[in-house]
Amino acid sequence: MASRRELPRVAIVGRPNVGKSTLFNRLVGKRLALVDAEPGVTRDRREGEAHLAGLAFIAIDTAGLDEAAPDSLAARVTAQTKAAVADADVCLFVIDARAGVTPLDRHFATLLRSSDKPMILVANKAEGVAAEAGLLEAYQLGLDEPVAISAEHGEGMGDLYDALAPHLPAPDEPASVGDEAPLRVAVVGRPNTGKSTLINRILGEERLLTGPEAGITRDSIAVDWAAHGRTFRLFDTAGLRRKPRVEGKLEKLAVADALNAIRFAEVVIVTIDVQQPFEKQDLTIADLIEREGRAVVIALTKWDLVNERQAALAALRGDAARLLPQLAGAPLVPVSGVTGEGVDRLVRAVVDAHTTWNKRVPTARLNRWLGAMVERHPPPAVSGRASRLRYLTQLKARPPTFVAFCSRPEKLPDAYRRYLVNGLRADFRLPGVPVRLLLRKGENPYEGKARRRTSASRK
């Protein structure tokens, strides 16, 4: 392990009360920084050794950037923050997604951009619908795609890892040009559904402890593996029981570790025991993964115990379509950790799901598609008026997220929204990944720019 000074340094900066100290505590894994609703609690720089999945670095908590008169306390505090930026290898510029982009955010975005340091825009407090407008406004800062997180609840840490990883070497492994980061795959499910046995079969060795007893695995164990021309990092996790049945501090910590593995994963394999398929806890786990925005592959484990296989698979596919509509089209792969049957198909399904999760659709195709969908089935009228859908674009991938601009977004029925989401999933081949559709009031945001360009060309 590198010494503390040799580790790369990441400064957490932003205006007061956007959650910098909460993020700092999350990264270092301890409550080192004081956190309070009152702005300006942090004054001095605070450093701590942080770990984010496979990354190790020195996180630097800073005071909120603020405009102040020279020689004042606030000015000296801001000078400390600027010194932290100068000393950092990477800066996390934090804004409050619920509050949206403020004039102070814009001012300091311009200031920080001149530092020539890699800058990652982090939209904190992004849980819930109240943050959606702020996420869209964040693009105005010109700092590329914002990373949406909730430092308080630990959401979005996997996306933060993706943003930081290109700028930081892995511990004890010098960064090499052209090295591809391993595809992070978490294997989750109820206790005793064969998670560790399946991973051992994938690896081709008895790497993980297995047995007939439920709950053998406690920690989330990460194992690196290479196949199909790429590298994988597999996370074996503790079995997830229903919350009322979780007992004792040790099991609670194991469950928290498993949930953390889901947040850091890109693709999640959900193990379903074919002898007891699609129980309530299976559905709860799948719903959690969908909310986290991860791609899903369903592994039907213990397939070696099934006799009437064709009929059983048809019934299981019907159950999946009926019980998991939010993950429509997720691949179901029958596997046996004992015999190795289906393991190669499972790995290929993981690679395909990762490709789908990263998919982007050109805006021109989306708007031709939207016109056809509206013509086929116009939005219903509410209070005598129908919402007009004017423009559709993809906001981001991982998972595919789209934003539609319409005249009355609050009046568009949920059923029509599902009609559009189902159409996006089917027509653009997005099976097994969450598909997000945001609705915004307004015209085509690029229409004015196009008109100005046309006018300028005529001159």
Give DSSP secondary structure letters for 438-454. EEEESS-TTHHHHHHHH
How many residues can be counted in the chain? Answer: 459
Q: What is the DSSP letter of 46?
A: E
Return the pLDDT at 218.
43
How high is the pLDDT of residue 35? 38
Q: Look at residue 73 in the predicted model and tell me its pLDDT.
A: 40
What are the structural domain ranges in the chain? 9-167, 183-357, 363-448
- The pLDDT, as a whole number, for residue 32 is 44
Burial of 138 per CB tally in 10 Å (0-12, 13-18, 19+): buried
Give pLDDT, residue 408: 86
CATH of domain 363-448: 3.30.300.20
Q: What is the number of alpha carbons within 13 Å of residue 400 lying toward its C-beta?
A: 28
How many Å is the Cα radius of gyration of the chain?
24
Q: What pLDDT does residue 182 have?
A: 86
pLDDT (0 to 100) of residue 220 = 56
Domains 9-167 and 183-357 share a fold: yes
Q: Which CATH class is domain 9-167?
A: alpha beta
Q: Give the integer Cα–Cα distance in Å for 78 and 216.
A: 51
pLDDT score for 323? 94
Render 283-334 in DSSP notation, one character per residue: HHHHHHHHHHT-EEEEEEE-GGG-SSHHHHHHHHHHHHHHH-GGGTT--EEE
Global confidence as pTM: 0.65
239 is written with which tokens?
């079995």
Cα(355)–Cα(430) distance, integer angstroms: 10
d(CA 210, CA 220): 14
- Contact indicator for 71, 87 with CB cutoff of 8 Å: no
How many CA atoms lie within 13 Å of 62's alpha carbon, on the beta-carbon side?
Answer: 30
Question: How many contiguous H segments (helices) and E segments (strands) does the chain have?
Answer: 13, 17
User: Per residue of the chain (459 residues), what is the pLDDT tens digit?
Assistant: 444 447 899 989 888 888 888 898 889 885 543 333 433 333 345 778 888 887 889 898 877 655 544 454 445 556 666 777 888 899 999 999 988 888 888 888 887 777 778 899 999 998 877 788 888 888 888 887 889 898 888 888 888 998 998 888 755 444 443 456 789 999 998 888 888 888 888 887 665 444 444 444 444 566 778 887 788 988 877 666 555 554 444 445 556 667 777 888 899 999 999 999 999 888 988 888 998 899 999 999 999 999 999 999 999 999 999 999 988 899 999 999 889 999 999 999 999 999 999 999 999 999 999 999 999 999 988 777 878 898 999 988 989 999 999 988 888 899 999 999 999 999 999 998 999 999 988 655 445 554 555 555 555
Choose which CATH entry (2.120.10.30, 1.10.357.10, 3.40.50.11540, 3.40.50.300) describes domain 183-357.
3.40.50.300
The tokens describing 270, both together, are: 């959900």
Residue 123's Cβ-count burial label (10 Å; 0-12, 13-18, 19+) is: buried
